[in-house]
């Protein structure tokens, strides 16, 4: 049986979120911290809408109220030429 993955970076499934919410009776923020949903390499840019929707459904609280769930940019920007590995012309 496949599980619906909500956060690909941290491999958090809908089942993980549901089980954690039930076990700990979490707030939206606590649920995010316990599962790391939306806290992976992309900083929530890919999964944030899905994470917010699931957290709202599970906790009956809007996760952007009171203490917003942080969305972070990539660790450090890098140029496309650096990615390609080609030396720049001098």
pLDDT digits (tens, 9 = 90+) for 16-43: 999 998 999 888 888 888 999 888 888 7
- Domain count for the chain, please give it: 1
75 versus 6: the higher-pLDDT residue is: 6
- Residue 31 falls within a domain, yes or no? yes
Reduced to 3 states (helix: H, G, I; strand: E, B; else coil), residue 15 is helix
Q: What is the CATH number of the domain that holds 33?
A: 1.10.10
Cα 74 versus chain centre, distance: 13
The answer, as to whether pTM is greater than 0.85, is no
Name the band, by pLDDT with cuts 50, 70 and 90, for residue 51: confident
Residue-number span of the structural domain to which 62 is assigned: 5-74
Backbone angles phi, psi at 38, to 5 degrees: 80, 5
Cα 54 versus chain centre, distance: 12
pLDDT at 16: 93
Q: Exposed, middle or buried, 61 (CB in 10 Å: 0-12/13-18/19+)?
A: middle
- Residue 90 falls within a domain, yes or no? no
Q: Contact 32/56 with Cβ under 8 angstroms?
A: no
- Residue 81 falls within a domain, yes or no? no
């Amino acid at each position: 049986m496949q599980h619906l993955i909500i956060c690909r970076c941290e491999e958090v499934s809908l089942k993980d979120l549901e089980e954690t919410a039930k076990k700990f009776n979490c707030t939206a923020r606590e649920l995010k911290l316990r599962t790391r949903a939306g806290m992976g390499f992309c900083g929530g840019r890919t999964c944030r809408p899905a994470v917010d929707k699931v957290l709202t459904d599970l906790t009956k609280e809007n996760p952007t109220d009171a203490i917003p769930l942080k969305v972070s940019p990539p660790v450090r920007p890098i140029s496309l030429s650096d990615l390609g590995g080609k030396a720049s012309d001098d």
